[in-house]
A and B are shown apart, each in its own frame.
Chain A
């Protein structure tokens, strides 16, 4: 047990850490409720929802609504693709196939490569091939180079602990391969699959480096925010930050609720 002084120091360190972690976000949340005449900094000039209303109006510079819609649609596509491909790949990697080791290292490499280079490379390749870059095309691919390795690593860890006897038992009891997957494998790995979906969604929603050079003419939300930080000088930016944080919390809450329901069904 640390002494009184040690405990005091540790507590101070922990408080400082939490402040560093959540302080900025909290500041933004507070400032987003700035009154109509308030500025970008303290003090608060009244309290209002003015800037949230402004969020949905036409902006002088930039367009929140469209970029949020794009980001949500892109995150949904990335999530779906990540879940389906990671699950299938995880199943495939349970058996050693020709080139499995090479494929694994190739996949992991895209985690290690600097994101900005991956984005640049994809952008250049599309340019060379004379295909236009779009958020729903090249940027989708670029984001998958980020989310798929994560998904695969999680799936490998899950199947590493997966008892093959479950599938044998299912087969012994007359299940076809598909029945064994649907009734045994999928329900058992479901919590991890939900985890991967959550991961994919959040990684995509605030992805920046890989998307920047591959999104083409229409911006996703993070790109739009970057563009606006230099030109917009009202707390509407803060309102946007608060709103998008809320979206992330909702996604996490939804996933936790799903997990909780799955666990309750088992109990």
Chain B
């Protein structure tokens, strides 16, 4: 049975603005799903509707086959981790984690013992007595995670969980989230605007735009076969180019600097040059202003370097072109 199923779910706000426009989505059991898109695409509204913190205007939400559209958050079998963490400032880490059990009337000794178990799960046992204000951002996040998990949800909902962390911590926390999801064997639904995060974590990537699903599939499929120019641009690593027959995408790592030949090519001047360590990013602007970029292995670039403003031609194989719907 699928963990979550959205059927024609729509969210309309007071002024008539449509945040989510009739989306259908099936999330398989024990999977990691990333809702990905630019701000205002409806990803957070979708997550909040699954959580029960936002009313559904139209459509149905099923959790483990049960229609939960009208149920309050705590009756759904979901738990949510908030972007700001929303830790209760007057309670210690342990009491924060135990809160859900306290509301359910679990006796003090038992709930504190279980809170300690979940603090151990996120490696925070030694800081159980601390107040949120005495914890670092990363530690606060672990408390929030433990607090959400103690209710033993079938689906954990995470609203931009990594956006407040510094890049080093973000990478560590990313591994941690994936590890927890595997260990617990439950589904995680994770909202993010970072395609890198989605690719690193997701079993299922759902790219959203203007309240609709632009593409849903495994990250590799989305990256290799973007469904539209929007997806190709948003997921990154692609040039979206047009020809009389229609537009197509070519991965930037499939472009090469070469002399003009008979194959497909993009000629112009080098308009940007970025050294990225293992690779070099070269942007070539054609006379009509269209830009295309190549991500070159550093050894390849340094074997035949170009300079900013210099004339250059990018070439690729026809086989690397991926036709786009729009």
Contact = CB atoms under 8 A, between A and B. Distances in A.
Interface of A: 163, 165-166, 168-176, 179, 183-184, 187-188, 266-267
Contact of A173 (B53, B89, B103): B103
B84 A163 contact: yes
B151 to A, nearest CB: 6
B104 A174 contact: yes
A170 B86 CA distance: 9
B311 interface: no
B28 to A, nearest CB: 24
Contacts of A163: 84, 86
Given A168-B53, A188-B90, A266-B90, A174 B103 contact: yes
Interface of B: 51-53, 72-74, 79-80, 82-84, 86-90, 99-100, 102-104, 131, 147-148, 151
A165 B151 contact: no
A52 to B, nearest CB: 43
B103 A165 contact: no
Main SS class of interface, A: helix
A29 to B, nearest CB: 39
Contact of B72 (A165, A171, A184, A267): A171
A166 B72 contact: no
Nearest to A190: B90
Nearest to B159: A165
Which residue, of A173, A175, A188, has the highest number of chain B Cβ atoms within 10 A? Answer: A173
A179 B104 CA distance: 11
Contact of A165 (B73, B74, B84, B131): B84
Contacts of B72: 171
Contacts of B82: 165, 168-169
Contact of B88 (A166, A171, A172, A174): A166
Contact of B73 (A172, A184, A187): A172
Contacts of B86: 163, 165-166, 168-169
B131 A266 contact: yes
B114 to A, nearest CB: 13
A174 B90 contact: no
Contact of B131 (A170, A175, A187, A267): A267
Contacts of B51: 172
B73 A171 contact: yes
Nearest to A184: B88
A175 B131 CA distance: 21
Contacts of B83: 165
A5 B131 CA distance: 49
Contacts of A171: 53, 72-74
Nearest to B51: A172
Which residue, of A166, A171, A172, A183, has the highest number of chain B Cβ atoms within 10 A? Answer: A172
Nearest to A169: B86
B90 A170 contact: no
Contacts of A267: 131
A267 B73 CA distance: 31
A17 to B, nearest CB: 36
Nearest to B48: A168
B128 to A, nearest CB: 15
B147 A173 contact: yes
Contacts of A179: 103
Given A165-B84, A165-B86, 10 more contacts: A166-B88, A168-B53, A169-B86, A169-B87, A170-B103, A171-B53, A173-B151, A174-B104, A183-B102, A266-B90
A231 to B, nearest CB: 53
B84 to A, nearest CB: 5
A177 to B, nearest CB: 10
Nearest to B133: A266
Which residue, of B84, B88, B131, has the highest number of chain A Cβ atoms within 10 A? Answer: B88
B88 to A, nearest CB: 6
Contacts of B131: 266-267
Given A166-B86, A188-B90, A172 B103 contact: no
A174 B100 contact: yes
B259 to A, nearest CB: 58
Nearest to B89: A188
Contacts of B148: 172
Per CB-CB distance, the 9 closest pairs between chain A and chain B, nearest first, are: A173-B100, A174-B74, A165-B86, A169-B86, A174-B103, A187-B90, A175-B103, A172-B73, A165-B82
Contacts of A169: 80, 82, 86-88, 147
A165 B103 CA distance: 17
A165 B88 CA distance: 10
Contacts of A165: 82-84, 86
27 contacts: A165-B84, A166-B88, A168-B80, A168-B86, A169-B82, A169-B87, A170-B103, A171-B53, A171-B73, A171-B74, A172-B52, A172-B79, A172-B80, A173-B74, A173-B99, A173-B103, A174-B74, A174-B100, A175-B99, A175-B103, A176-B103, A179-B103, A187-B90, A188-B88, A188-B90, A266-B90, A267-B131
